[in-house]
Amino acid sequence: MSKMKLKTIVAFVIILVVAPPLYFGGNLLQALLILVSALGSLEIASLTDQKKHWFLSLMTLAAVMAMYYINRSMFPAILAIWVIVLFVTELLRENESSDLTAYTLLMSILLGLGLRCISVIYQDGATKGFLTIIFVLIGCFFCDTGAYLSGSLFGKHKLIPHVSPNKTVEGAIGGYLIGAIGALLWGLLVTTYLSKEFVITASFIIPAVAQIGDLSFSSIKRRFGIKDFSNILPGHGGIFDRIDSLIFCLMAFNGLMILWGI
């Protein structure tokens, strides 16, 4: 089986698994978010070279779930406890780089906040939540696909070669335009309950933030000398390889919701 065929089949399976929870919301969505949290936590913990990283995986999952479920006012307390746990864990490890703690903390916070942002999007019910999350997904993944296609067809100038050697300026521009146009059309035609000013602003911000997220996680992978965070999704890599840019988009979108008082 060719790599592209495998990637297409896995992408189709991902859509089949993810679509119902996003559409119906409720307990199905909660189950999906818990699954993503568990797999993401395992990937964070596996950045260590030690084979037995189950303890750190469980602690990471607990921290991510806490950030998702607790009241916002409890964030500082959870963060403080998590920092202590990470430093104690580092003291017990041997031959590990000290900055692993910083990366573990950073990725845990990003995962927890990203999932929390999804719950905010669904605060007005599953119908609006589904249409709104599609808006974010279009801006994010149209940008990703557009960047790949544009880079393949027109790419000549490297974007940030020391972070991601294959990404080009032409790909970044093409991806941004495709993501922005796709999100704008969906926003103006479907999510009519959102103001035009909000839709236009979000449509132009989401694709830019998506590329920042992609490059940020690429830098983490280069730091640890890995191509993918895991191989749980054949042809796609790991959970973080699929949601790296989406996490940033969700946080940016949530920030815009706060600014607009939505």
pLDDT for 172: 93
Q: Sorting pLDDT into bands at 50, 70 and 90, what band is 227? A: confident
- Residue 50: is its pLDDT beyond 60? no
What is the per-residue pLDDT across 183-225, written as a single tens digit (0 to 9) for each? 999 999 999 999 999 999 999 999 999 999 999 898 888 888 8
Within a domain: residue 3?
no
* Average pLDDT value for residue range 96-101: 63
**DSSP 8-state secondary structure symbol assigned to residue 70:** S
156 or 93: which carries more pLDDT confidence? 156
- Residue 69: is its pLDDT beyond 90? no
- Residue 49: is its pLDDT beyond 70? no
- Give backbone dihedrals phi and psi of 168, rounded to 5 degrees, phi first: -120, 160
Same domain, 34 and 134: no
* Average pLDDT value for residue range 161-179: 90
Q: Which domain holds residue 79?
A: 26-121
Same domain, 202 and 237: yes
- Residue 19: is its pLDDT beyond 80? yes
27 or 49: which carries more pLDDT confidence? 27
Q: Max CA-CA distance within the chain? A: 56
The C-alpha atoms of residue 186 and residue 144 are separated, in whole angstroms, by 17
DSSP symbols for 127-150: HHHHHHHHHHHHHHHHHHHHHHHH
* Residue at a domain's end among 86, 121, 156: 121
Model confidence, pTM? 0.87
Same domain, 98 and 42: yes
* Average pLDDT value for residue range 221-239: 85
* Average pLDDT value for residue range 35-40: 86
Same domain, 104 and 152: no
* Residue at a domain's end among 121, 142, 177: 121
Q: What percent of the chain has pLDDT over 70?
A: 79
Q: Which residue has the tokens 């993501």?
A: 179
* Residue at a domain's end among 74, 105, 121: 121
Same domain, 65 and 135: no
Contact assessment for residue 6 and residue 234, using Cβ atoms and an 8 Å cutoff: yes
- Residue 248: is its pLDDT beyond 80? yes
Contact assessment for residue 109 and residue 76, using Cβ atoms and an 8 Å cutoff: no
Same domain, 39 and 145: no
Within a domain: residue 81?
yes
Split into its structural domains, the chain has a count of 2
